[in-house]
Amino acid sequence: MLAVDKNFVLNMFGLKGKVALITGATGSLGSAIAKGYGYQGVKVMMTARNEAKLKALYEEFTAEGIDCAYIVGDPAVEADVARIVEATVKHYGEINILVTAAGVSKPKSILQQSTEDWQSMMDANVLGTYLSCKYVAKVMVEQGKGGKMVLVSSARSKRGMKGYTGYSTSKAAVDLLAQSLACDLGEYHINVNTFNPTVFRSDLTEWMFHDDNVYQNFLKRLPIGRLGEPADFIGIASFLASDASNFITAANIAADGGYWGN
């Protein structure tokens, strides 16, 4: 007889009661995931470098009944990460989900880009992700209940583009980091995956939505027929945080409107 547990199936997408730490929570993607998790009953600890923005999100979310808190810090500074993780455990008692949505993009040709700009992307996108995973992994191992790490990468990680030498390289590193961490942490039942968005609406990309030539040219590579919205990624972030993804780890999952396949 096929072994399928009805209770598991009925509840495998549920996140209610879980505790999530989200870096880059003030960005368009991080804030969308934080709110999406909050609507599902997740207790959300938000972190970023801008306290005013964090406070505004906290007030908005709590007004809607979302259980959340925030702490200011830089994910590329080890002492900050240690403090953030410690504060999360102190406030909520545990960490079940990590989402690394913090990141930096400074598009420019290698012929013009400064070494300092290159390093800033490596620090924000790679070092920051590594440090968050390192300190949260220690907590998850000590808890003994497993956990889910959802690393935000990019469609650029596997398809380079003019002006994206630094950014593409940093996100390719995040993809391989997830695959390697999955090997390190699998024995502790900690799943580590990336999802890889294409261009989505944000403060940095809003102009693309209003320049018809640029927009239409980009759509030549997107079978889905439009650029992304932050809310488009709540589903994949929720799936990778849920029991429904228990047998998925070390994956780089396209959330790109078909960009990789075209």
**pLDDT tens-digit map of 218-240:** 888 889 998 889 999 999 999 99
192-198-204 Cα angle (round to 5): 110
Confidence of residue 67 (pLDDT cuts 50, 70, 90): very high
Q: Which DSSP state fits 216?
A: H
CA distance 5 to 104: 43
CA distance 190 to 77: 24
CA separation, residue 72 to residues 49, 86, 106, 243 (Å): 5, 13, 23, 30
> Which pLDDT belongs to residue 39?
98
Judged by DSSP in three states, 221 sits in: coil
Average pLDDT, integer, range 120-141: 97
> Which pLDDT belongs to residue 1?
66
Domains assigned to the chain = 16-254 (3.40.50.720)
Q: Is the pLDDT of residue 209 over 90?
A: no
Residues forming the active site: 167
CA separation, residue 227 to residues 32, 214, 221 (Å): 16, 11, 10
What six digits make up the tokens of 7? 């209770």
Cα-based torsion angle of the residue sequence 64, 66, 69, 73 in order, rounded to the nearest 10 degrees: -80
CA distance 124 to 23: 11
